[in-house]
Amino acid sequence: MDYYWERQYRVFRPQVLSNVSGNVLEAGVGTGRNFCHYSPATNLTGIDLCSNMLKIANIRARKASCDISLLQNDATQLSKIPSNHYDWYVSFFMFCVMPDELQDLAINQIVRVLRPGGKFLILEMIYSKDEKLLKRQKLFKPFVEKVYGARFDRQTLRRFQENEHLKIEKTFFVKADVYLMIEGMKGNA
Ligand SMILES: C[S@@+](CC[C@H](N)C(=O)[O-])C[C@H]1O[C@@H](n2cnc3c(N)ncnc32)[C@H](O)[C@@H]1O
């Protein structure tokens, strides 16, 4: 299902993950498309809600060059995940499929599990400001929502900005003005 998109994503995945190492929690791993891009200096815990996703992720985990353990878990609860432990929290395209009313719960869990100074890296999709592209996004909106459960209007960046424990260090687009990377850290407060 994601073959067409993945041909584009595989270009930026290694670039944006090149600085990530240490104890890493990746939420919403899906089929584990990020796994082969982590450095061997990574100790990765990967979680996803969906057991079928995790079955495929498990095959990719065995081929990765870092240690990976996978858990079926909900990013809004992270019930089996220790507090103040992780150097990095990574999540690609999870917040765009997560219902609006659950997003702050997931962000609060990021605050809980990151160590002070720990960093987060979130990849999201948003509406373009380019008229032609926006028109295309609006045309495909029902398809994207029905088939992938994803939306372009989740306001994830604003939610991170409003969290008093998290500091956004930079935002940048990895493709067009649609694929938005949000990078930042947990403060000491
Ligand atoms: C669009 S896929 C992205 C998969 C992967 N991160 C990637 O970059 O290819 C979104 C994933 O987030 C997972 N997900 C959605 N809500 C979740 C939640 N509350 N807790 C954990 N995983 C969740 C879905 O099961 C799905 O595997």
Q: Is the pLDDT of residue 189 over 80?
A: no
Residue ranges and CATH numbers for the domains of the chain are 3-186 (3.40.50.150)
The strand pair at 42-48 and 22-27 is best described as parallel
> For 109-151, what is each residue's pLDDT tens digit?
999 999 999 999 999 999 999 999 999 999 999 999 998 889 9
Mapped onto helix, strand or coil, the DSSP state of residue 119 is strand
Q: Which atom of ligand 1 is nearest to the CA of 75?
A: 20
Q: Is 74 in the pocket of ligand 1 (CB under 6 A)?
A: yes
According to DSSP, residue 19 is labeled T
What's the whole-model pTM score? Answer: 0.96
Ligand 1 centroid–CA 91 distance in Å is 8
| Residue 166 · residue 111 · CB < 8 Å | yes
Sheet holding 179-186, edge to edge: 67-72, 42-48, 22-27, 86-92, 114-125, 179-186, 166-175
Q: Is the pLDDT of residue 4 over 90?
A: no
> Atom 12, ligand 1: which residue's CA is nearest?
28
* Residue from 79, 100, 78, 81 nearest 149 by CA: 100
φ/ψ of 75, rounded to 5, equals: -65, -20
Count of positions (residues) in the chain: 189
Confidence of residue 80 (pLDDT cuts 50, 70, 90): confident
Percent of the chain beyond pLDDT 90?
92
> Atom 16, ligand 1: which residue's CA is nearest?
98
Ligand 1 centroid–CA 32 distance in Å is 10
Ligand 1 centroid–CA 28 distance in Å is 3
Q: Is 107 in the pocket of ligand 1 (CB under 6 A)?
A: no
